[in-house]
Amino acid sequence: MSGPSSQRLSTGKWVACVATALVIIASLLSYGWYQGLVGNITTAQVDTDEWDRPTSVEGVMNILVIGSDVRSGENADYGAAEGARPDTMLIASINVDNGAATLVNLPRDLMVDLPGCEATEGYEGMSPQEGMISSVMTFGGVGCQWQVVEQVTGVHLDHFLMMDFVGFKDMVDAIGGVEMCIPEPVDDPKAHLVLDAGLQTLDGEDSLGFVRSRYAQGDGSDLSRIDRQQEFMGAMLREVLSSDVMTSPVTITRFLGAVTDSITTDEELTVDTMADIAISMREVDLDRVQFVTVPNGAHPADENRIIMSDAAPALFEAINNGEDLGGDGDDEDDGGPGESSVEPGDVSVEIANNTGIDGLALEIQAVLVQEGFVVTGTGNPDQRAPDATTVYHGPGDEAAAKLLADSLTNAQTEEAEGLEQTLELVAGSDWEGFGGSSSGSDLSITDDLGGVTAEKQESAC
């Protein structure tokens, strides 16, 4: 039996439809079209008795979400490739008791120890080996992919859901597009994407290009693209939950019709199960929908691959314990004296770029505004131009400076004369990004795991 290829998959990633789809199913229960729409869903049989499984958690529903890079049929416009493979994978962990949800991205470049999978109809199987977590479905089907994710993460998966390119486009078009802020013009021939800078509504085709685009945005990494996908996911979730969508039977029906026409699920993800999840999510607070990239670091033997960091087990343990990573907003901050009352919305900051990287200040601005910080200006250093990334603050603003510095990988803080209320962030030559160099631009630190919420992913325009 042959093993999975280490070739980098050529296409972009996905934004999962799970949170948005399940949230509106409850509304559809009041409309007569619901049963007919769900009848469009394709199902696949997965025999989970074939491997030793993690223990399930009462009150928590974990769904493996796969964005399929299938290139046949209507998807052939996006290039040629054999079979279906995960272009994006994430675990959607939904607390059905309190309506909170955590969506954990599993980067496709993540190298793990893969268990072997037996050959089945249509798949040749694979032997145990180290390989990319996203590579096994090509050789063992969705059942093998399910097994790998469970054994690598220790998270019990209750169901899986898979969607293709065309379904994603149709889903966006069904709600009239998604409003996004594009900080800089984008021209990415590989993703079939050309966008002007500024606030704009992306249709299905442009949305697909946006979440697929890699080398023409950010630093060109897989992790950077995940950050943009999480931003898009938050924007789409807000759009679906808007009054205009939720009060329109026609719009809701179009949306779920697009979803059901293009998804494949396991046989146990029934109409009743979907409805139960949806009912628990009916009053969802966007501040409790958490987007997280699994903590990771560079692979020691291959700079083009990554491995899980020491912080990853804590994330998976939190999911296994049914913890609400988004929080309910009522708990007191665990920070030190003077920190509990400081929130990103209370912090004003000017950004100076001392790295020599063109456009970095605007990229930093976009991320900080998404997190809720108030950015009052960007430019080049004036009075202060340190080599080390530094957050300067005036007297009494230590807590605000620490909050901002803690969202960066390697920033230090320093008191400076002449600053009152507004902080000054100077990105130095040691700039390594947000929330840890291995986790892209995640800012909101939840139990030191990283992540951002749908509520805080607001427009940077």
At 339-396, the pLDDT tens digits run 336 788 888 899 999 998 877 888 888 788 878 888 888 888 888 889 999 999 998 8
The full 3-state SS of the chain, as one line of letters, equals CCCCCCCCCCCCCCCCCHHHHHHHHHHHCCCCCHHHHHCCCEEECCCHHHCCCCCCCCCEEEEEEEEECCCCHHHHHHCCCCCCCEEEEEEEEEECCCCEEEEEEECCCEEEEECCECCECCECCECCEEEECCCCHHHHHHHHHHHHHHHHHCCCCCEEEEECHHHHHHHHHHCCCEEEEECCCEEEHHHCEEECCEEEEECHHHHHHHHHCCCCCCCCCHHHHHHHHHHHHHHHHHHHCCHHHHCCHHHHHHHHHHHHHHEEEECCCCHHHHHHHHHHCCCCCHHHEEEEECCEEEECCEEEEEEECCCHHHHHHHHHCCCCCCCCCCCCCCCCCCCCCCCHHHCEEEEEECCCCCCHHHHHHHHHHHHCCEEEEEECCCCCCCCCCEEEECCCCHHHHHHHHHCECCCEEEECCCCCCEEEEEECCCCCCECCCCCCCCCCCCCCCCCEECCCCCCCC
> Does position 4 have pLDDT exceeding 50, yes or no?
no
> Quick one: fold of 344-445?
Alpha-Beta Plaits (3.30.70)
Comparing 38 with 1, the larger pLDDT belongs to 38
- For the domain spanning 18-171+219-320, the CATH number is 3.40.630.190
Would you say residue 157 has pLDDT above 70? yes
Mean pLDDT of the chain: 75
User: Mean of the pLDDT values across residues 187-213?
Assistant: 88
| Domains of the chain by residue range | 18-171+219-320, 344-445
pLDDT for the residue 308: 92
Higher-confidence residue of 286 and 348: namely 348
Q: Which pLDDT tens digit goes with each residue over 24-80? A: 444 444 344 455 556 667 888 888 988 999 988 888 889 998 887 653 344 344 343
